[in-house]
Amino acid sequence: GSSGSSGPVDCSVIVVNKQTKDYAESVGRKVRDLGMVVDLIFLNTEVSLSQALEDVSRGGSPFAIVITQQHQIHRSCTVNIMFGTPQEHRNMPQADAMVLVARNYERYKNECREKEREEIARQASGPSSG
């Protein structure tokens, strides 16, 4: 139950270790620079990573970025794409990850627009011409 936020976030940053908080926040800022709504999620010890990713996906987020201590050392991250055909890109360098996310975010927005257009067309279903 988050207060005041409308709809799902675009990208959830899943922080596996509390120690990587600063690094995770810096990655989150980069994603925010792409014009996306970002949420940091700290993994509970009793919740598995796959469970957390499932929750994110159910919540409607198209992207999840996983940050572990290994990632912090190598300045990398794992990008999970939740929409369309789910994909996992493990241990990508930060810069590459941002390019990937930006490109897929464009695709995601286009798909959303297509869906909206279809909805509108369906609602205005008069006699179709041409």
Transcribe 32-69 into DSSP letters.
HHTT--EEEEEPPTTS-HHHHHHHHHHTT-SEEEEE-H
Q: Record the pTM.
A: 0.86
Instruction: Kindly state whether residue 5 falls inside one of the protein's structural domains.
Output: no
Domain hosting residue 107, numbered range? 11-122
Kindly list the strands in the beta sheet with 38-42, ordered across the sheet, starting from the edge strand earlier in the chain.
Answer: 38-42, 11-15, 63-67, 76-81, 87-93
The answer to whether position 59 is within a domain reads yes
Q: Look at residue 49 and tell me if it is in a domain.
A: yes
pLDDT-derived band at 6 (thresholds 50, 70, 90) equals low
Residue at 130 is within a domain: no
**Residue 28: inside a domain:** yes
State the CATH number of the domain containing residue 49. Answer: 3.40.50.800
State how many domains the chain has. 1
The larger pLDDT score, comparing residue 98 to residue 4, is at 98
* 6 assigned to some structural domain: no
Q: 70-95 pLDDT, tens per residue?
A: 999 999 999 999 998 999 999 999 99
